[in-house]
Amino acid sequence: MVRHLFLMHSNRAIWQAAASFVQVNFHPLKVAKYATLVDLKNVFAGLLGMACLLPSYIGFPNRQQKLNRMARAPKAAERTIEMPSISADGLNVGSRLRAARLAKGLLIDDVAQRVGVSKSFISRFERDVVQASVATLLRVCDAIGIKPAELFAPPSTNFVRAGEGTPISLGGERMREYLIGGPGNEHMMALLSVIEPGGGSGPEAYTLKAASDMVHVQTGRLEICVGEETYLLQAGDTLTFPPSIPHTWRNPSEGETCTALWVIVPPPA
């Protein structure tokens, strides 16, 4: 019976106290004191009572203490989060996602479970340490409850000179993108993509809530899969398709960079 009692209360402090109690009261010279069944029951009752009281002495929180801690914890609805401004180097998508997540009272674990990725990935993505595929970025926005367009502010001028587009990250691998549309444009989104050999949107197909997507290849080659169809675009080629169809794209070249112009109408919701 004593063995079963020890297994039920395996905390180190309980073990030590109970062992000390048994050592003192079950000393060979004291066994005679508990010769009757009634006395033995009293001993075991004392052990059980001591085990129940020990948690309060070794710092285990009771129900009221837990409730008090919960009451002191800040409520998500009371948080006030300001969206970060555009940096000189471009748009900090990760920090904007983090601000939006905190503003909605979501934990990294909440977003990670909804998206189907690890917590460490979301943490690094929010710190702009890693990039996500376009499909993953869209799922993150959906998990947080924001529109992808909310992450990006328009450039400061309508006239954008060569090389002066606003750097942004819409996901993808081994590529850079620049917003080259005018400010406050509610009718279209214009992007310039510089895609390194082997780079692209990522292996997972994605969709956009928009009516039309047009891509014009300026240099290099671009392979685009729209639904069951695959298109290989050379410099000067243009493809228009409904982005609501699952699609992926990549630069199939082994050594040549691809530059492509994208026009999405209207901007993705």
Residue 118 to residue 152: CA distance in whole angstroms: 25
Q: Is the pLDDT of residue 148 over 50?
A: yes
Residue 32 has pLDDT above 70, yes or no: no
Least confident of 116-130, 150-164, 247-261: 150-164
pLDDT of residue 165: 84
pLDDT at 264 over 70: yes
Residue 92 or 154, more confident: 92
- Among the ranges 6-10, 58-62, 162-166, 192-196, which has the highest mean pLDDT value? 192-196
Tell me the domain boundaries of the chain: 2-65, 76-153, 157-269
Record the tokens describing residue 101, joined without a space.
């997540």
Among 3-7, 11-15, 130-134, 254-258, top mean pLDDT goes to 254-258
Averaged pLDDT, 123-139: 86
The pLDDT of residue 19 is: 52
**Biggest alpha carbon distance in the chain?**
103
pLDDT for 187 equals: 78
Mean pLDDT of 44-51: 54
Looking at residue 38, what is its pLDDT?
47
With CA atoms as reference, report the closest residue to 191 among 267, 96, 88: 267
Domain 157-269 has CATH 2.60.120.10: yes
**Does residue 72 surpass a pLDDT of 90?**
no
pLDDT tens profile 85-94: 334 345 678 8
Residue 171 · residue 134 · CB < 8 Å: yes
Computed over every residue of the chain, the mean pLDDT equals: 74
Comparing CA positions, the residue from 134, 125, 135 lying closest to residue 97 is 125
- Residue with the bigger pLDDT between 90 and 256: it is 256
The domain defined by 76-153 carries CATH number 1.10.260.40: yes
Interval 182-224: pLDDT, tens: 555 667 889 999 999 999 999 999 999 999 999 999 999 999 9
